[in-house]
Amino acid sequence: MIPLYGYAKAKKYADSHAKLTDQEILQLKKKNPGPCLTISRQSGIEVNSICNKLVELFSTYYSTDWAYFDKDLIRKVISDHNLSPRIQKYLGEERESVIGQMFNEMLGVHPPMLELVHKMGNTMLNLAEIGNIILIGRGSNIITSHLSNAYHIRLVAPLDYRIKTLQATKEITKEWANNILLKEDNNRKEFLSKTFRKDINNTLLYNLTINISLFSFEELVSIIAEAVKQKYPIDKSQISTRKKVKNTLKPKNMRRYYE
């Protein structure tokens, strides 16, 4: 289920930038990009509430609209590139077998996997280059690793902690929860390894790795927010430029923003 608050923020973010001219988009990307936060997490760690709070804090601190994209991003890629909703499952973090992939491509079930990953990555990169965005999973930290405005966080927790968290939301046994989490962890690891040739557990891929079991929700949000603000302190000239850009909005086709 898509969190309504997060969806509304994401839609507002997309709609506001869709009204900018190509020149204004280029200005934001090259001269005044806002921070881009990527969040990688182990399975069983819920991040929507964290992101909603961070969006609220960052929107106030940086005086501009923020949004976060997770599974909504997948739907956005499908919409932007006129792909059938039936291929949505192929854009997840679980990669199908090589034989299954070849079979589906021959039958025309979905475009080649690399093409889908490329389109998803292209959308992520466009969002990150403008900034004031939080990207969750899907190799976003790898895709944006060359950007100076990108800050990468990895959220981890002991397996027992994640099992209890999952059991609190679903009526399942400890064994079942354990199997689900281990499978999802492996799927995410495989996705990053096969797609980007990277180890998801390599701490060098992240600016900050946090064991969330050691902190309360408020402490966790504060740690992340302060880390980003310390790395990217408020820039008054940037705010001035962004306000000037907002005052010169012109209707534009939304597709070119994501392509």
Q: What is the DSSP string of 10-78?
A: HHHHHHHHHTS-HHHHHHHHHT-PPPEEEEEE-TT---HHHHHHHHHHHHHHTTS--EEESHHHHHHHH
Residues 6 and 48: beta-carbon distance below 8 Å: yes
Tens digit of pLDDT at every position of the chain (259 positions): 445 455 566 666 666 655 656 666 666 666 667 899 999 999 999 998 999 999 999 989 998 888 888 766 666 655 665 555 555 555 555 555 555 555 565 556 556 666 666 777 777 888 888 888 999 988 889 989 999 999 999 999 999 999 999 999 888 999 999 999 999 999 999 988 888 899 999 999 999 999 999 999 999 999 999 999 999 998 765 555 555 544 444 434 434 333 3
pLDDT of residue 224: 96
Q: Which of 131, 149, 152 is nearest to 141 (CA)?
A: 152
Instruction: Output the furthest CA–CA distance in the chain (Å, rounded).
Output: 57
Residues 194 and 101: beta-carbon distance below 8 Å: no
Q: Indicate the length of the chain as a whole number.
A: 259
* Residue 167 φ then ψ, to 5°: -65, -25
Select from 3.90.78.10, 3.30.470.20, 3.40.50.300, 3.40.1350.10 the CATH code of 4-258. Answer: 3.40.50.300
CA-to-CA dists, residue 203 to 40, 93, 140, 150, 163, angstroms: 11, 19, 15, 16, 23
Sheet containing 150-156: order of strands: 67-69, 133-136, 36-41, 150-156, 208-211
| Strand blocks (E) in the chain | 36-41, 67-69, 133-136, 150-156, 208-211
